[in-house]
Amino acid sequence: MGILRNKRRREEREPADSRYGSPSPARAPYDTPSPTAAVELRGVRRRYGRGTGAVHALRGIDLSLPRGSFTAVMGPSGSGKSTFLQCAAGLDLPTEGSVRLGGTEITGMNENQLTELRRSRLGFVFQAFNLLPSLTVEQNVLLPTRLAGGGSARQGRAHAAELLARVGLEGKGHRRPTELSGGQQQRVAIARALVTRPDVIFADEPTGALDTTTAGEVLDLLRSAVDALGATVVMVTHDPVAATHADQVLFLADGLIADRLPRTDATTIAARMRTLATRPALAGAAA
């Protein structure tokens, strides 16, 4: 991935953002460093471009997510959610700062190491389901293990069948993705994300293209990956209802974590989103 070859560059620290109240001397609840955290970010900054046209997409993220937790990440468009997810998942390299997954520092890894890490320990679910149309459902589910060269064909088929049953697609292994509904395709993508028994599943708007009922089914699957399989899920979403499935909701604004809510109802989450969206942009902060 070309972007990972970008050299990391140092930049001046920006002044602390005081819009969301004075910085508290105590650590925020999402920010207690832990050697056993599934996902840990320290001082993560990501800048696109240089000079006056530079965009500061992440401006200092400190975050520690325990194993077996489900976190929703919300915030206005352009607040840095996707950039955050890409940096946390080793798909993009921060300009500055450290990212640890399961205690392993990933920011110094080369591309081969990152690819291996993504294959063996991470799962991904995106808004566009990203299934390969020329492969069957079963082949799509098994793709990550095939790329890793693991297991016999018979074991693979048994595992795929088990995962397809788990996501409610029993017997659909021989279909092509185009023969399935959007919700069914996203469930295939979740089965594929689970096939390597990942420690962490990163999801960017996984329900963005789905109707409410189908979205609910997909969210239940992510929830059960946490509750039944012990996975850690980090999910970017615009939808307050989707965020109610998470143990906590983090709110990003202008590349910083502006707030956190423990698991709560959609009305409370929507109200918090509205106050973030209506705050005036900080003078001098790059949009």
Ligand X SMILES: Nc1ncnc2c1ncn2[C@@H]1O[C@H](COP(=O)(O)OP(=O)(O)OP(=O)(O)O)[C@@H](O)[C@H]1O
The residues that touch ligand X, with contacts defined as CB under 6 A, are: 48, 55, 57, 75, 77-83, 287
Least separation in angstroms between residue 81's CB and Mg ion is 5
Q: Which amino acid is at 85?
A: L
Residue 89 interacts with, from Mg ion, ligand X, none (CB under 5-8 Å by kind): none
Residue 177 interacts with, from Mg ion, ligand X, none (CB under 5-8 Å by kind): none
Are the C-beta atoms of residues 200 and 234 closer than 8 Å to each other? yes
Least separation in angstroms between residue 174's CB and ligand X is 35
Are the C-beta atoms of residues 186 and 206 closer than 8 Å to each other? yes
Candidates 12-20, 76-84, 167-175, 259-267; binding stretch for Mg ion (CB under 5 A) = 76-84
Candidates 5-13, 78-86, 104-112, 265-273; binding stretch for Mg ion (CB under 5 A) = 78-86
Residue 48 interacts with, from Mg ion, ligand X, none (CB under 5-8 Å by kind): ligand X
* Residue (229 or 287) nearer to Mg ion, CB: 287
Residues 6+ apart with CB under 8 A from 243: 72, 74, 237, 249, 266, 269
Q: Which residue has the tokens 């693991």?
A: 150
* Residue (79 or 145) nearer to Mg ion, CB: 79
CA–CA separation, 263 vs 287, rounded Å?
29
Vertex 248 angle, CA 242 and 254, to 5°: 85
Taking CB atoms, the residue at the shortest distance from Mg ion is 82
Least separation in angstroms between residue 208's CB and ligand X is 9
- Asked if residue 82 binds Mg ion (CB under 5 A), the reply is yes
Residue 216 interacts with, from ligand X, Mg ion, none (CB under 5-8 Å by kind): none
* Residue (82 or 186) nearer to ligand X, CB: 82
Residue 57 interacts with, from ligand X, Mg ion, none (CB under 5-8 Å by kind): ligand X
CA–CA separation, 117 vs 44, rounded Å?
20
* Residue (56 or 159) nearer to ligand X, CB: 56
Q: What pairs with residue 257 in β-bridges?
A: 252
Three state DSSP letters for 221-236: HHHHHHHCCCCEEEEE
CA–CA separation, 57 vs 160, rounded Å?
38
What token pair was written down for 29?
Answer: 């609840």
Residues 6+ apart with CB under 8 A from 234: 39, 65, 71, 73, 85, 88, 200, 201, 202, 203
Residue 55 interacts with, from ligand X, Mg ion, none (CB under 5-8 Å by kind): ligand X
* Residue (82 or 139) nearer to Mg ion, CB: 82
* Residue (57 or 234) nearer to ligand X, CB: 57
Residue 287 interacts with, from ligand X, Mg ion, none (CB under 5-8 Å by kind): ligand X
Q: Which amino acid is at 68?
A: G
CA–CA separation, 243 vs 250, rounded Å?
10
